[in-house]
Each structure stands twice: as C-alpha cells, then as structure tokens.
Amino acid sequence: MSQRISLDWIACDGRGLCAELLPERIAMDEWGYPLLDATPLSADLDAHARRAVRACPTRALRVQHVPAGAAGGPAPASQPLPAGRRQAGTAPHASVARGAARTQRTR
C-alpha cells in the first residue's frame, strides 16, 4: 500500500499553496495550476503532504491510497519532477506566470 497525491481538478483554483508546501511532488504550470508527480510519498514527506492537503483553500488536494501494483483511480499524470529542494523560508519557484494577464481562473 502506498500513497500519492491526487487532485480534484474541478475544485482546484490554482492558488498555489500546495506547490509551496510540497515542492518535491508539485510544481506549477504557466497558468498557476499544479503539475503533480505521482511518485509514491516517502515517509519523510508524509507530514508535508498532509500539511499541503490541509492548506488547500478549496480542498482540492488529496492523498490517495494506492494498493501496491494496482492501477488505482485516475492518475494525477505527469512525469516525476526533478528532485525538489526544500528551502526554509523562501518561495520555491518563480511564481510562474501567476500574474500573467491571460491566465484565466475557473472561479
């Protein structure tokens, strides 16, 4: 049994807290929406993942339990991210195009 992060795409509004709190598994696309790494969560990431789930303002982020070897539900997609580095106190990535004029929000 392993765990991975997954997303309710309809609930997600691209606020970006998840990418700041779990850069090892979540990056952001040019529109501010999460790029998810479906690699199972290691034990040291467990607390960070749960914190990211709690912090999501729209409760879109989930931790999904995947039985070992099973296909599970719809995959969060995307390739594994380059190993993210946790930097105390700094926002991990340039807020990619969060302010871009043409980015549209779903709400």
Partner 1 sequence: MSRLLLPGVGPGLADHLAARGPLQAVDAVWLADEVERAGLTGRGGARFPLHRKLRAVAGARKPVVVANAAEGEPASRKDATLLERAPHLVLDGLDLAARAVGAHRRIVSVHEGPGVAHVRRALDERPGGEHVEVVDAPAAFLSGEESALVSRVDGRPALPRTRPPAVWQQGVGGRATLVSNAETLAHLALLARHGAADFRAEGTREEPGTMLCTVSGAVRRGGVVEAAIGTPLAAVLSAAGGPAEPLRAVLVGGYHGAWLDAGLLETPLSSAGLAPQGASPGAGVLVALPASACPLRAAAVIVRYLADSSARQCGPCLNGLPALADTLDRLASAAPTGADRLRLEQLTGLVAGRGACHHPDGTVRFVRSVLTTFADDLDAHRAGDCVATTAIRRYASSAP
Residues that bind partner 1 in the complex, under the rule CB under 8 A: 8-14, 29-33, 73-75, 77-78, 102-106
Helices marked H in 1-107: 17-21, 46-55
Report in angstroms how near the CB of residue 97 gets to partner 1 at its nearest.
10
Closer residue to partner 1 in complex, CB, 1/101: 101
Report in angstroms how near the CB of residue 10 gets to partner 1 at its nearest.
5
Q: What is the SS3 assignment for 30?
A: coil
29 is written with which tokens? 């696309």
Closer residue to partner 1 in complex, CB, 50/98: 98
Closer residue to partner 1 in complex, CB, 73/80: 73
Instruction: Write the single-letter amino acid at 9.
Output: W
Report in angstroms how near the CB of residue 8 gets to partner 1 at its nearest.
5
Rounded to 5 degrees, φ, ψ at 72 are: 70, -170
Closer residue to partner 1 in complex, CB, 42/77: 77
Task: Kindly list the distances between the CA atom of residue 18 and the CA atoms of 63, 99, 101, in Å, as whole numbers in the listed order.
Answer: 12, 18, 22
Report in angstroms how near the CB of residue 103 gets to partner 1 at its nearest.
6
Q: What is the SS3 assignment for 6?
A: strand
